[in-house]
Amino acid sequence: MFLRNCWYAAAASHELGAGLLARTLLDEPVVLYRKKDGTPVALEDRCSHRFYPLSAGELKDEKIVCGYHGMEFDCSGACVRVPGQKNVPKGADIKAYPIAEKWLFVWLWMGDPALADESLIPEIWRNKHPEWEVVCGDCIPMKGNYRLVADNLLDPSHVSFLHKSTLGTSDVADIPQETEQFGRNVRVTRWILDRTAAPVYARLGGFTTNVDRWQIITFTPPALVEVDMGSCIAGTGAPQGDRSQGIELHAFNLVTPCSENTAYYFWTHVRNFALGDAEISKTVRQQFLTAFAEDVMAIEGVQAGMERFPGKRMVNISADGGGIRARRILDEMIAEEKAGGKVAAA
């Protein structure tokens, strides 16, 4: 089940260049491209003649030429030329999607076009702010239901076991976390005080003494999870809001469902230290790609387990509280939308 009246990331901005890009969102095949002025376009990835994928064709003067019989479609989805005849058949036009580009991502509105409102695109302002350095990754295809990503990220205790070489220390899972809900958002918070720095923070921050570390994870429906994380020298005031004696990072995780059991994982990492340092950016990219690969492995393992044991019921533990609340919120929004309510997610 999907929430449709909302914006989903379809591509990182750097992925969309001069050619055609095929993606599937919410079981709908889409082809994306840029006009000559850089404006992004999204059309149904289907030639109306024989349903050949338009993404297998080519761009010509801002129009897609079908690679099978040469029918041409403009950026509105209108069929404007059929080789060998003067008239365009009735019903030859295809669907065009509301599209926007903001915060280093290209977004599609998959529901009622009349409700598309760019102000509802999630605020990821740190991606475009001079006081923050951003590392933007490529799309990661994933063989798992999109909700499993929120389950994973809203349970930070897993870093002790899954991310031993990057984010994990053995004591994280034994420290309680707090879960709160405000409106349609869920936040999970954990402070790890006066402990050894995790490997990634030791590398990036050069810590030689114990640190105060935080994990503050916020879910925004349908599928944005922001992870506010970092470490400061122990006892220097981080829990009270003074993060000046350490390093701070934010990970923005955007998950777009392709189908019921597959998804795209988009991400950026931003930091407020070592601005302009290419080597630090390289380290951040390498370290967190390692962690992402471990997360994807776990999510795909869970998906495979659900399919392998369809008659079994999962057992929940206290660390699942954030994920359970996020699922409940999304279920309520989907049910409201299906009942005819004009739900619009920010």
CATH of residue 330: 3.90.380.10
1 inside domain: no
Distance set, CA 50 to CA 15, 58, 79, 97 (Å): 28, 17, 14, 21
Q: How far apart are the first and last CA of the chain?
A: 18
Maximal CA-CA distance, the chain: 78
CA–CA separation, 227 vs 245, rounded Å? 20
Looking up residue 25, the CATH number of its domain turns out to be 2.102.10.10
Q: Are residues 250 and 332 in the same domain?
A: yes
Q: At which of 92, 117, 142 does a domain end?
A: 117
Overall domain count for the chain: 2
Q: Are residues 138 and 102 in the same domain?
A: no
Count of all residues that appear for the chain in the document: 346
Q: Which of 131, 281, 149, 283 is closest to 219 using CA atoms? A: 149
Q: Are residues 211 and 89 in the same domain?
A: no
178 inside domain: yes
Strand 262-271 relative to strand 140-142: parallel, antiparallel, unpaired? antiparallel
285 inside domain: yes
CA–CA separation, 1 vs 272, rounded Å? 38
Strand 99-102 relative to strand 211-220: parallel, antiparallel, unpaired? unpaired
Q: Are residues 204 and 231 in the same domain?
A: yes
Q: Supply the pLDDT for residue 94.
A: 98
CA–CA separation, 293 vs 311, rounded Å? 29
Q: Supply the pLDDT for residue 222.
A: 95
Q: Are residues 285 and 249 in the same domain?
A: yes
| Beta-bridge partners for 164 | none
CA–CA separation, 39 vs 100, rounded Å? 9
Weakly modelled stretches of the chain, pLDDT under 50: none
Domain that holds residue 253: 122-338
Q: What single-letter DSSP state applies at residue 19?
A: S
Contacts of 93 (CB under 8 A, 6+ apart): 48, 73, 77, 78, 79
Cβ-based neighbour number of residue 115 at 10 Å: 15
Q: Which of 142, 155, 108 is closest to 261 using CA atoms? A: 142
The two structure tokens encoding residue 75: 């950026």
The one-letter code for the residue type at 142 is: M
Whose structure tokens read 């399919």? 307
Q: At which of 82, 117, 152 does a domain end?
A: 117
Q: Are residues 127 and 109 in the same domain?
A: no
Kindly report, residue by residue over 97-142, the tens digit of the pLDDT.
999 999 999 999 999 999 999 999 999 999 999 999 999 999 999 9
| Beta-bridge partners for 271 | 133, 249
CA–CA separation, 133 vs 45, rounded Å? 35
Rg of the chain, C-alpha, whole Å? 22
Q: Are residues 185 and 112 in the same domain?
A: no
104 inside domain: yes
27: helix, coil or strand?
coil
346 inside domain: no
The two structure tokens encoding residue 213: 């570390």
Q: At which of 77, 92, 117 does a domain end?
A: 117
46: helix, coil or strand?
coil
